[in-house]
Structure 1
Amino acid sequence: MRRRSLAVLAAVPLFFAAACGTEGGDSKAATGGSGLKVTGEVGKKPSVTFPSGSPAAKSSEETVKDGSGTEFKVGDSVIVNYTVFNWDGKSNATVGSTYDAGSPETITVSQDLPSVLREAFVGAKPGGRHIAVVAPDSLTKEQLEQAKQQGQDKLTQVLVLDMVGVKPKPVTVDGKAVDPGVKGVKVENPGPGKTPVLTTKTDEKAPKELVTKVVIKGTGPVVKSGQQLMAHYIGKIWGTDKEFDSSWGKGDPATFGIGTGQVIKGWDQSLVGLPVGTRVLVSIPPALGYGEQGSPQAGIKGTDTLVFLVDIVGAY
């Protein structure tokens, strides 16, 4: 289903990676004792000016711009754009940013986060910008050991956090189901919260064009290009009934950017514009799937037509 995966988390510390578009005016603030200055609009990649001398040896967190709305708390899954810098007193290089990747990440506010990062999230609000200086003093023994394995146990990092909001809870697709009317494909709808059944074993010829058929029409907000979409899905190859992917067995819906090239073209072209709560059957020709190269690791050839049954359970 995914065309490519985000690589930004590979560039940031293990303790942060494991825990895993708001507009605003110009933000410019010096962060107290750290001497750091952050510039740029909230919702765009920031710039940080570092003071001369050695990096801070003590962790700290401060607010650059207040947000509005409900405060985040421990246990929330917060949607956030972040930019990470290695504060070494020399190049102070940027090592990763969700703005470069093209979409925010979701971070669960928990004990898995270094204490200073947890403090930065708790009490923050959507639309706010915060900065966290993460020095070794804010890490637990386990986190220090992880950092040591990465060669980062003496490293101070600076994270600029643009808070987007709390990830919504997925809805359950529920409603009257209709036959999608695609010859050679069968859909069974066992009821709300239960895994549907998709059958693609057939001698019928696969459609040459993209086919999108609503099975259950949702009543939620319409999915827009550029949003993060939450979906349960089953993916099979036309004619063989071979399942190459499914989110149902993993327990949680998948989350990905839609309409921006993060997934195969057939998904971008078929799911934007549908309301949350919809179950939809999508038949995708090779050109709008994985192309002539296919996806060997999934057992998909360059000539295979893909069939997906997708439950749209959220968008933000």
Structure 2
Amino acid sequence: MSSIRLRLAAAVLPFTLVLSACGGDGKDGSSAEATAPATASAPAQSAELAGVKVEGAGTEKASLVLPSSPFTTSGPGYRVVEEGTGKQIGGEDEVSAHYLLVNGKNGKQVDARLGKEAVGLSMADKSLQSAIQSAMVGQKVGSRLLVAIPAREAVGDQGNSQLGIAPADTLVYYFEVTDVKTPLTQATGTPVPPKPGLPTIEMGKTPQEPAKITIPKGATPPTKTVVQPLIEGKGPKVAAGQTVRVTYTGATWREPSKPFDYSGKSPEGHVEFAVGKGELIKGWDEGIPGHAVGSRLLVIVPPADGYGKQGREPDIKGDDTLVFVLDILDAR
């Protein structure tokens, strides 16, 4: 399956929140990848976190005071420091939160997003640590939470030497939930009649099915990238540097009936990536910013703005023009 990425991009989440994180140093100076056990247990309200104090809550100088050093827990657990009063978090929702991570071994801060800066957490993202996801779902905007995770469940048996985390350590997170929203599952907004001569699109019966792309008889592919809205969304416009969530189908002008890729193949049924950072083919990197969340776009990409003369064999030849239809479901 060909990818719309030019190369492997950085993880959307900070890797301290990702289930599979970088482990010990390899022989060549690169980081080895350590995968956490797939059977990580779900957290429960934990009395073991009762002694953890939060100082400076709601500020850029928030900190945790642990009741002992080293501080460990018997397993994953959470504690609601303060209950929120806003919208409740669902299993498919996007959460914005400030957070702080300390290592229970010595109480030292490992990572933080505090003050004005927040991190986006998808409750449906399988790379998010399961203990965090389980603790957050059902909470409300405004909630302040502590989450404890045995480090082995986050960084695997190798630990993470770069961050000073050993498998036997306990990681303690503090979260302040600032916002939550439910992403779209398909484009919604005002239909836009496409210009004559462009490919026509018939969407699948569900967002997981590929769209049917038909090239008008006798039509020739454009020499410059075309971005034609089919539906104009009513959400905020995507800005360069944001992470977007989309569903899409991609085919070549040469063989429009044979999609070389579509988002329904992924376990989530959608994909997320940063735009405007040089991590995508140019037709996407420059074509998506400026369009509103909720939009459906027909994007026609000549080789120069796609994979160039080298193509992406076996599906995409060096002279292939690419045809995509994509729905912008979210941007953050």
TM-score range, shorter chain: 0.5 to 0.7
Deviations 1:103-136 (A, max 9, x none): 63312599x943x87445543415x654423248
- Structural RMSD (CA): 4.9
- 1:14 corresponds to which residue? 36
- 2:301 corresponds to which residue? 284
- 2:232 corresponds to which residue? 218
Query: Between Structure 1 and Structure 2, which shows a larger proportion of helix residues?
Result: 1
Whether 2:248 is the aligned partner of 1:233: answer: yes
Contact 2:225 2:300 in 1 (8 A): yes
Alignment partners' CA distance in 1, 2:311 and 2:119: 26
Residue 203 of structure 1 deviates from its aligned partner by: 7.6
Contact 1:220 1:277 in 2 (8 A): yes
Contact 1:286 1:292 in 2 (8 A): yes
Alignment partners' CA distance in 2, 1:150 and 1:255: 28
List aligned pairs for 1:172-183, cutoff 5 A: 173=188, 178-182=193-197
- 1:243 corresponds to which residue? 259
Worse-matched range after superposition: 299-308 or 227-236: 299-308
- 1:207 corresponds to which residue? 222
Distance 1:129 1:293, change over 3 A: farther
What is the SS of the residue equivalent to 1:221? coil
Distance 1:276 1:57, change over 3 A: closer
Deviations 1:272-312 (A, max 9, x none): 3334443321112344334566545x744555432211223
Residue 34 of structure 1 deviates from its aligned partner by: 2.9
Alignment partners' CA distance in 2, 1:236 and 1:129: 46
Alignment partners' CA distance in 2, 1:290 and 1:190: 26
Count of residue pairs the alignment pairs up: 284
What is the SS of the residue equivalent to 2:260? strand
Residue 56 of structure 1 deviates from its aligned partner by: 1.2
What is the SS of the residue equivalent to 2:285? helix
Aligned residue among 167, 175, 178 for 1:161: 175
What is the SS of the residue equivalent to 1:165? strand
List aligned pairs for 1:92-131, cutoff 5 A: 92=108, 94=110, 104-108=120-124, 113-114=130-131, 118-119=134-135, 122-125=138-141, 130-131=145-146
- 1:187 corresponds to which residue? 201
Whether 2:5 is the aligned partner of 1:2: answer: yes
Alignment partners' CA distance in 2, 1:121 and 1:190: 31
| Percent identity of equivalent pairs | 23
Distance 1:209 1:308, change over 3 A: same
Distance 1:53 1:165, change over 3 A: same
Residue 246 of structure 1 deviates from its aligned partner by: 0.6
Structure 2 portions without partners, runs of 5+: 23-34, 42-48, 160-165
Deviations 1:113-167 (A, max 9, x none): 43x87445543415x654423248xxxxxx97x9875667632012243534133
- 2:44 corresponds to which residue? none
Distance 1:51 1:177, change over 3 A: closer
Alignment partners' CA distance in 2, 1:37 and 1:264: 45
Letter in 2 for 1:105: L
Worse-matched range after superposition: 228-237 or 199-208: 199-208
Contact 2:201 2:214 in 1 (8 A): yes
List aligned pairs for 1:136-151, cutoff 5 A: none
What is the SS of the residue equivalent to 1:266? helix
Aligned residue among 255, 263, 267 for 2:284: 267
Letter in 1 for 2:170: T
